[in-house]
Amino acid sequence: MTQPIKAMLFDKDGTLFDFQATWGSWASKVITDLADGDTTLQTSLAQAIHFDLVGLQFLPTSPIIACTHRECAEVVASVLPGRSVDEIDQFMAHRAAQAPLSPAVPLAPLLDDLLARGIALGVMTNDTEIVAHTHLRSAGVADRFFFIAGSDSGFGAKPAPDPLLAFSRAIGMDPGHVLMVGDSTHDLIAGRAAGMQTLGVLTGTALSEDLAPHADAVLPDIGHIPAWIAAA
């Protein structure tokens, strides 16, 4: 920890919410519905997004893990004849808002602890802003965040630093006092580029060795943050 942490910006999927537990069964159902009974197409869709239909898990190489909502729709459209990117984008956004959320840890107690320490909180996800708000409201924690942004909020998307710097400006904080917390290299690369401190968590699909080169530390999940701050 190079400077005192005065703010934290969290990724959403794989960070606040366990990635596989939240999106595994969701993806299986979406693939089945999009394929409309065509098992060959179902296999093609699963291969395109690097999804294991048997284990109901995304592979670490999946483009879905860190890409924007629009980019995800483009990947699906590449193997789905007769459906436009716009149509797929709208379909997936609607279904994403209904995903069965699985918080990585009990969120409210953790976030309240951080707020009690005077730490400003935000969320920046490559998902859409409306889905981010929907998920955080469903989890009962939207009101803990001063800033909630998606890839369509007008600030850009990770791994560019721009949306992270937008958070820094919104709270009037020097980026060096902000901790970017995420489960993917996109999150951490963006954090480093923004001049923030970076923390990796293992509730996504990336391994510790994937995240370590881009992170000041790698923790099992966000529930370990208070102890990490105390130790530092």
- The average confidence (pLDDT) of the chain is 94
Higher per-residue confidence, 2 vs 224: 224
Torsion of CA 173, 106, 15, 85, to 10 degrees: -110
Give the tokens for residue 65. 């893990």
The Cα–Cα gap between 222 and 219 comes to 7
Dihedral over Cα of 205, 110, 136, 128: its sign: negative
How high is the pLDDT of residue 145? 98
Which residues have CB under 8 Å from 143's CB, separation 6+? Answer: none
Following DSSP, what letter does each residue of 132-186 receive, concatenated? HHHHHHHTT-GGG-SEEE-TTSSS--TTSSHHHHHHHHHHT--GGGEEEEESSHH
Dihedral over Cα of 108, 113, 116, 121: its sign: negative
* Confidence bin at 66 (pLDDT 50/70/90): confident
Least confidently predicted of 3-7, 69-73, 221-225: 69-73
Q: Which residue has 């480093």 as its token pair?
A: 192
Please give the span between the terminal C-alpha atoms of the chain, in angstroms, as a whole number: 6
Query: What would the mean pLDDT of 195-208 be, rounded to a whole number?
Result: 97
pLDDT digit string, tens, across residues 16-30: 999 999 999 999 999
Between the CA of residue 16 and those of 36, 41, 104, 106, what are the distances in Å? 32, 32, 6, 9
Query: What would the mean pLDDT of 166-184 be, rounded to a whole number?
Result: 97
How high is the pLDDT of residue 68? 87
Is the CB of residue 101 less than 8 Å from the CB of residue 67? no
pLDDT digit string, tens, across residues 79-131: 988 889 999 989 988 888 888 999 999 999 999 999 999 999 999 999 999 99
- Domains, the chain, ordered by start: 7-18+103-231 (3.40.50.1000), 22-96 (no CATH)
Beta strand 7-10 with 51-52: parallel, antiparallel or unpaired?
unpaired
pTM of the predicted structure, to 2 decimals: 0.92
How high is the pLDDT of residue 1? 65
* Confidence bin at 4 (pLDDT 50/70/90): very high
Least confidently predicted of 71-85, 132-146, 167-181: 71-85
Q: Is 217 helix (H, G, I), strand (E, B) or coil?
A: strand
How many Cα atoms sit within 13 Å of 8 on the Cβ side? Answer: 26
